[in-house]
Structure 1
Amino acid sequence: MSGPTPEEAEILDFQAHCDAFYPPDAVSASVEQQRRWYDALCAAFDPGRPEGVAAEDRPLGAIPARFYRPAHVSTDATILYLHGGGFVVGSLDSHDTVCAELAQGTGAELVAIDYRLAPEHRWPAAFEDGWAALSALLAQGRHVVLAGDSAGGNLAAGLAVRARNEGVCGIVGLALIYPGLGGDLASGSYAEMAEAPGLSTADVRYYRELYAAPETDPVAHPLRAESLAGLPPTFVSAARFDPLRDDARLFAGRLAAAGVDVSFREEPQMIHAWLRARHMSPGARAGFAALVTELGRLARLT
């Protein structure tokens, strides 16, 4: 690997394990092969659901979904989780234990959805699936915290922007984990971390082109929104060694400038997709604990 890299031995070991399943040049392979690699990687880092969390697959409206319920529910808010994967890979299974652990740690029911993927379904398919799921939860009278990592963070932020624009009520929080929000691919962390381990700027460009969202659409690229005023209380988590880092920094800064209740945390030794390293890396473990705390706080703002 070239360019700036972490010093934490455990996160470097994590990346070496990832490279054994999902090579750095994976985007040069077919989408079908990329999905096989990603599924194998996810299975290798799956510790199993924690005891006491029930999970049930059932549709949310017309959208495939998995409902997680911890043994002790301590809030009436529901977390709607959108998984990462560049809009190209990922599923209910890829983030299963992440979602189960978040439900357990926050004491909140969590719903994950299986949105449509590119290139079979380009923009706005994934977003519209997220909107349909959100609308179904709100129609049930639920208070919702939107959450997601990477591409899922993009979708969560876009849903919050559209809901704000349309005067939709019921969204009580927003949590974004190393989100891609439409930043300039030629500057900032996209230049500094262009060859970062786990995700390169070239990879980001590939995923954007495959997803084919309009560059100027503020729902597809929330950093392009004219104003972020009126968004719900938000937690933003960035990874230091990630081309997407400055998307998170800029979004959090703009939220603060707009008067939104925002908490920002940058993991100093982390790379993109560190969620999977939460059981082997001290830095990832600390980042995940902070995520649970902040997500739980948002779920109790009802």
Structure 2
Amino acid sequence: MSNLNPFKILSNLENEKSEVKKLSITDAVVAVISYMLISLFTLEIGFSVIRSSSNSILQLLLSIFAVGVTFFAVTAVFYAYYITNLSKDKIKERPVKKFTLINVLLLILIVLGYLMLFDSLLMPIDKILPGFSSFTEGIQLISKNPIFLIGYLGIIGPLLTEFVFRGIIVGGLSKKYSSLKAILLSSLLSGISTFNPAGFMCIFILGILLGYLYIKTHSLYLCIIGDIFYSAITSILLQYYPQFLLLISSNTLIIVLLTVIGLLIIYFGMKKLFSNIENQYKINSDLNKK
């Protein structure tokens, strides 16, 4: 049963004690469909039970249970079909510490740069695409239940998204295809899974950023933190400060300035982050030789 501990599964992938099996494009499509069916099934049951209860405390407990079951079900199924544990002789003596405070701070900086770029240059385009209003309405609906807002939209949702689309799909596809093809396919599938043109654009571009981050760092934790931070800031801006998004996208000079600053932050943040991890790999390699 300990093998089905969701946090242990994530930890083993992060510390390279397990690896993802090689995937074809068909395998990746099946993985996405499986993920969507499991998530929709468990969450819909949770929503149905919650809506039928008038007791606020009971609703709270049921919300926690629904989110927990979804997390466990997805990780358990994907562990069984797509992950292989490494033998002891293949496990590195000293796992590379990629999830450090400085790397997390650099990641947050990178996401802030991406938000500057997206909200100034791409958000005006996203807002005129079909489905944008339903996307924001969905966030407002979820926000009425704090457990789903914090537990699922803010934590478990990004965690499962990165586990499936970056950890499993990018990791599996990159063993058969080029890194670029793996990143683009994963981003395309994650965007399509929203069934929303506005949501597609948002998720597709974010997927490219996080997919590249995963290929370069092999850190699932960093991708998860990046997704959580992006989701939190975007949800807050869309729900409470839509006038701010309107302001920064209404002036050409502001758009150009924020786009340039955002790109520079992303570039230098990634350069430093990748350098930190590369240096850690070198240090570990030297220690293992001694």
TM bucket normalised to smaller:
under 0.3
Which protein has greater RCO, CA pairs closer than 8 Å, 6+ apart? 2
**Structure 2-normalised TM-score?**
0.26
Structure with higher strand content:
1
Return the index of the structure with the highest Cα Rg: 2
**Structure 1-normalised TM-score?**
0.26
